[in-house]
Amino acid sequence: MERLQKVLAQAGVASRRRCEELIVQGSVEVNGKLVRELGTKVDPERDRIVVNGKPIKLERHVYLLLHKPTGVITSLSDPQGRRVVTDLLKGVKERVYPVGRLDYDTSGLLLLTNDGELANRLAHPSYEIDKVYRAWVKGIPSAESIKRLATGVRLEDGMTSPGRARLLKTSSDKQKAWIELTIHEGRNRQVRRMCEAIGHPVLTLERVRLGFLTLEGLRPGDYRLLTSEEVNKLKRGLQQRKQAKRGPL
């Protein structure tokens, strides 16, 4: 038995919050009876659940790891006709959507799923999931600049949260540097803006890790299904972080 709003969100009806609103508004029936009480428990395999007169259809949850190339939009559609990430998915029948985003000119690891609850938790900064980026930047950042990246940089929308940063190597002509930056937030073009703020604009940028997931074995444009072990590990890790933030009972 699961909470009704959770079942609705997992079926792709809407976000969890919007599903709660639909319940309170009287738009949801369970086995022919109107339900307005949040927290109502249902059996998604047996109960007949109807929203605005239409029965919900439960989809099999799908979890994909994509190596996004540059020149692709992290979206389901683009009014300018540019390629979107779902154009790269061949043979995937379920309607999946990206977890977070990568810029048009940024490559790297991107998750796509139809599991709304998992997607929301992975994208929310309060869960502090490591997002690891590697960037070629213009010039050679000093030790102090690298420290600023790690401890926090002031941007126009506020200070960035603490993370980790390190200098990996420099180019032979000493004009560029390869740096690695680990953050937990997901602000718009955050890594690029952070590097710009310390005076070392990004030349190329790639996300190489999300949590324990990496791009190993995937070329740009390739994707794979997460294994059941990987999905369970993600869910366990998120649940542990949630419980840790609640503190002792």
Measured on CA atoms in the order 233, 237, 242, 247, is the torsion positive or negative?
A: positive
- Catalytic annotation present for 157: no
Strand segments, DSSP code E, in 102-191 are 107-113, 131-138, 154-155, 158-159, 164-170, 176-183
- Give the helix ranges, DSSP H, for the chain: 4-10, 16-24, 116-123, 143-151, 190-197, 228-246
Non-local (6+) Cβ contacts of 239 within 8 A are none
Exposure of 167 in the CB half-sphere (CA atoms within 13 A): 18
> Which residues 6+ apart lie within 8 Å of 13 measured at CB?
19, 22, 51, 56
Point out the catalytic residue in the list 43, 87, 103, 115. Answer: 103
Query: Within 13 Å and on the Cβ side, how many CA atoms surround 216?
Result: 5
With b for 16 or more beta-carbon neighbours within 10 A and e for fewer, the 95-111 pattern comes to: ebbbbbbbbeebbbbbb
Pairing of strands 54-55, 97-98: unpaired
Q: What is the DSSP string of 39-73?
A: T-EE-TTTS-EEETTEE--PPPP-EEEEEEPTT-B
Token pair for 63: 């979890």
Give catalytic residue positions.
103
